[in-house]
Amino acid sequence: GAVVSQHPSRVICKSGTSVKIECRSLDFQATTMFWYRQFPKQSLMLMATSNEGSKATYEQGVEKDKFLINHASLTLSTLTVTSAHPEDSSFYICSARGTGTNTEAFFGQGTRLTVV
Amino acid sequence: GQQVMQIPQYQHVQEGEDFTTYCNSSTTLSNIQWYKQRPGGHPVFLIQLVKSGEVKKQKRLTFQFGEAKKNSSLHITATQTTDVGTYFCEWGNTGKLIFGQGTTLQVKP
């Protein structure tokens, strides 16, 4: 199946700094990628839909100035958590559908962010 | 708006017992997907259901899509410790990937 690679898998940063998370589709072109946040023992909460070559679409309640999304190519989307605070500590995961409609989603390995 | 509820939130079973998780929608779904997430891992695709009344099997797992395409279930027969994890339903009517709340399965050996 298709492969989505997410990097880094773990990151610890200081409050006030920014962290960039990369999501790459390795063997297919993903015009759309999705970014999720998952708290312990909870579901995946969709944060935003990343569209190649255009602005991301953010879900209600997600600060677009805090969670910057860039989808500059068909194989790379990035999520930057700006001015991170301890409450931003979470598991962030990206996903992309395969080509065609109504197809399965492939997930990156996820990034465990800890802000100290 | 569309609401999909997944129940139960948690299920503890003895190894060998059966397990079922349900997703119920307030509106008709065009399709539904099921995923499994192991502790510490990322979701992995299990199956897609598209047709009304569809039933699909994968070894001990049975997936059903209701006749009205408003509900779906995942049933595991004779659970094993390897079945531990959280099972999510997902639907993509609007092109987004939206997940149910998930059902976390614990299996006691």
Tokens of B38: 């192991």
Q: Is B7 on the interface with A (CB under 8 A)?
A: no
- The interface residues of chain A toward chain B in range 18-77, judged by CB-CB distance below 8 A, are 32, 34, 36, 41-44, 46, 49
- In this prediction, residue B2 carries a pLDDT of 60
pLDDT in tens, A76-105: 999 999 999 999 999 999 998 766 655 678
Closest Cα in chain A to B34 = A104
CB-based contact A107 B96, cutoff 8 Å: no
The Cα–Cα gap between B14 and B87 comes to: 17
The radius of gyration computed from the CA coordinates of chain B, to the nearest angstrom, equals 13
Judge: B101–A43 Cβ closer than 8 Å, yes or no: yes
Spell out which residues of chain A touch residue B102, defining contact as CB-CB under 8 Å.
42-43
Residues in chain A with pLDDT values less than 70:
1-2, 98-103
Nearest to A96 by CA among B103, B18, B45: B45
The model's pLDDT over B57-70, given as tens digits with 9 standing for 90+, comes to 999 999 999 999 99
User: In angstroms, rounded to a whole number, what is the distance separating the alpha carbons of residues A12 and A116?
Assistant: 7
